[in-house]
Amino acid sequence: MTIKDYQYMTSIETGATFEDKLIEYFKIDTHQPIDKVREDLEKITTIKEDVECKYNQWFNKKRWHLQLPFLDATYDQWSRLESLLAEEDNINNLHKLLAIYFRPKKFYLFRTKFNMKSQDKIEQELLDYDIDKAKQMLLFFSHNATRYLRNMNISYLNMMKQQTK
């Protein structure tokens, strides 16, 4: 399931026609037994928990990379991240959030730098990215940010301790 598929699923109101809309959207063959239809729908809509987050991977016939370290970001990246998080529509902004730190490589050795002009194109391409991998990548971002902020706090406290001696 892709990010775009997941966004569609979250946009549907639950009710009597929820499953029918999903069956139609995912083009599941309704001429098969109902148990098989249910099984196919469940298989498509299940999000896996054990997907590995890789720094470099192939997607859409391109090599993509994850920018590390997390805090080595440009002003444009920080402002983009801040504005997206302020919108509070993180499900529909999932591909936009990923595009801040996950970009294609232009050449084998050179990473594509963050550029506001190319962000829309990258964001649209990431709509087809696998939701399982996207979720793991966001968890990776979260853990990295927490670790870096904790280290900054420890450094600050150590500096304050040294100044009081």
Mean pLDDT of the chain: 80
Each residue's pLDDT tens digit, 55-107: 778 888 888 888 776 667 777 888 888 888 888 777 788 888 888 888 887 76
Cβ proximity of 45 and 6 under 8 Å: no
Q: Where are the domains of the chain?
A: 3-45, 56-164
Give the span between the Cα atoms of 99 and 66, in whole angstroms: 9
Cβ proximity of 93 and 3 under 8 Å: no
pTM for this model (two decimals): 0.69
Q: Which helix (H) or strand (E) segment is 145 a member of?
A: helix 131-164
Stretch 7-20: mean pLDDT? 82
Which of 7-21, 23-37, 44-58 comes out lowest in average pLDDT? 44-58
Q: Which ranges constitute the DSSP H helices of 27-130?
A: 34-45, 75-86, 94-101, 116-126
